[in-house]
Structure 1
């Protein structure tokens, strides 16, 4: 696999003649000479469909959709904030799930019950109905014994996250947060009735 990827990187292109999957051919044809990290069109690809793709035990896999927002050197893309904004809005039209998780690609949860623990907060009738998000603290391995580089981020995880950011608000760390969608964006009314198997097939076919 490493050799294959390195070969593609050296060539700067993928030989679609060696690919038999029509979906993959369609996706890779978008990778042209002008397609760069700083400038490229929007890419939306359905990698897994719950009504078609199964795991090795025969159980349905969850829908998996890849999104690369449009990049243009003439317009600022606002880094992670811009990426989250695009993902929230696109996913609202595709699935419109009421709760979603924001997680960096280099992060993972060491507790398989994390989603359940987060939902307990959202569904607790005694909690504020305006609860916007539930955030889990980050923990890092292989830190210096005295943490001379402040890798544990004590201030951020033990002070700011409990509402001491200077304005009395809660500081979001950028990862490890379950959000209530309606706290950030209203549900798109035009999406209702378009879903099939929790995926807006009309949107994906555009």
Structure 2
């Protein structure tokens, strides 16, 4: 199960002191361990290896948290505190990877039960996000030119066509291609293209 001891920590990110305190108090009697944070910057200094994030600072902070979660190889599920967001905003956040929405105020038992249920049903989604995060981390290790070569490969171009498109020699493309395959750990161009597609979330 996802909500085992590995994911017992809940990082409660909310600039509203009273609400943050109440949420943390409501989780104390459950097997979830609340970690209160005023803003996302406090979390970025040392990205945790396990747990989940509960964001209560509005849509802008939720978007930032989702981007950070996607950028790390150690992906954490991000839950958003429902605060009368529009249907469009909710759809956007779900599309970006929000694992669920939590209503507040709620009883302590109700909040813990909701988070555990969301953690359970978000397991396949989280596994997919981890795959995407791992792919993005490998792509981020490439130089700009290596990314351009990979982009060409993903579009089905041959090395000669990539060379023409980038205005460089065929030999230079082959060198960048070899370096790129080594960095991302791909055995061939097809594996590299699949990795690029996965990193893009498609």
Q: TM-score range by the shorter chain?
A: under 0.3
Q: Which has the higher contact order (CA 8 A, sep 6+)?
A: 1
Q: Select the structure that is richer in helix.
A: 2
